[in-house]
Amino acid sequence: TSNYKKRSKRVEPQLRDIDHLQHPAGRVGVPEDIAYACLFLTSKKAGFITGTNLIVDGGMTIKMIYAE
């Protein structure tokens, strides 16, 4: 969203690098990541999926469960 983009530009560049490094995916997620998951789930390609938890977090859940 535009408000998210405005706020994220105010973050110090060093902090942004650190944020990206801590994610197993190598980057911080953006709203489009959630939108793409929603588009997939509503597409014909997901027609046999009837119930599941789809976690769209760039791998952060696994990292938090299995702390290094």
Residue 39 is which amino acid?
A: L
The per-residue DSSP string of 56-67 comes to -STTHHHHHHT-
pLDDT value of position 32: 94
pLDDT value of position 38: 95
- Alpha carbons 11 and 39: distance in angstroms, whole number: 30
CA 46 to chain centre: 20
pLDDT value of position 5: 72
Low-confidence stretches of the chain (pLDDT < 50) are none
pLDDT value of position 33: 95
